[in-house]
Amino acid sequence: MSELVRRTYSSPLREEAARRTRAAIRGAASRLFVRDGYVSTTVRHIAEEAGVAVRTVFTAYPGGKADLFREALDEAVAGPGDSPPVPARPLVRRPGDRPATEADLIVEQVVDYGAAMLERAGGLLMTSVESSGADPDMRRFAEDDARATADNARTIAEGLYEGGWLRPDVTAEHAADVLFTLISPQVHSLLRRDCGWDVAHYRSWLSSTLRATLLR
């Protein structure tokens, strides 16, 4: 009976220790991928950053760097699973502005989701873009993300078009191209990292630019 009790208690403890180890390795890899790039980051660098042995990294992630990057990116894109969704911010209206429409609220929801996701995952997404010419795994990740972003942009644009909310000179295809471009890791990186904008400035610009460019 005592042996059964030890096994019963040790299994959850081992699982929790393994989970913490994976999280430490994943966090270390994410920091190094963003800071140093995918190609320059080795498994040994990741092990040293996480404070574990190289063998431990391969035990936790048998696929090595590509496995690590995929899981880190998926987690960053998805966000914390135990947090409730962040409600859309109220529209900031200035005297003389037209009344807010349902389309305005849709754009705000798109901006809220896109900005929050890029704050979490933009660095890793840019790592895949910047390393795509040197590594086939990174090229695949970058292409997959671009394809998913284009599909989402097309869905949003078609909804705005079918609702009659786009400007008369804006087609659904044009709106999809604008959404795909503006809500991209490249634009986010240029404004947040290179130009030094804070996140509030970025979100405000993105919201006003999308509304002015696309909506009636």
Residues 50 and 123 in one domain: no
pLDDT given at position 15: 87
Q: Helix (H, G, I), strand (E, B), or coil: what is residue 95?
A: coil
Residues 121 and 196 in one domain: yes
pLDDT band at 91 (very low <50, low <70, confident <90, very high): very low
For residue 146, is it within any domain?
yes
pLDDT given at position 85: 41
**CA-only gyration radius of the chain, Å:** 22
For residue 97, is it within any domain?
no
pLDDT given at position 65: 93
For residues 19 and 13, give the distance between their C-alpha atoms in angstroms, rounded to a whole number: 10
Q: How does pLDDT run across 128-166, given as a tens digit for each residue?
A: 999 999 999 999 999 999 999 999 999 999 999 999 999
Residues 208 and 106 in one domain: yes
For residue 133, is it within any domain?
yes
Residues 70 and 108 in one domain: no
Model pTM? 0.81
For residue 120, is it within any domain?
yes
Residues 107 and 72 in one domain: no
Residues 110 and 187 in one domain: yes
For residues 123 and 41, give the distance between their C-alpha atoms in angstroms, rounded to a whole number: 15
Q: The CATH number of the domain where 63 resides is what?
A: 1.10.357.10
Task: State the burial class of residue 4 (Cβ atoms within 10 Å of its Cβ: 0-12, 13-18, 19+).
Answer: exposed
Q: Two tokens at 77?
A: 């894109």
Domain that holds residue 61: 2-78
Largest separation between any pair of C-alpha atoms in the chain: 77
Q: How does pLDDT run across 34-87, given as a tens digit for each residue?
A: 999 999 999 999 999 999 999 999 999 999 999 999 999 999 999 875 443 444
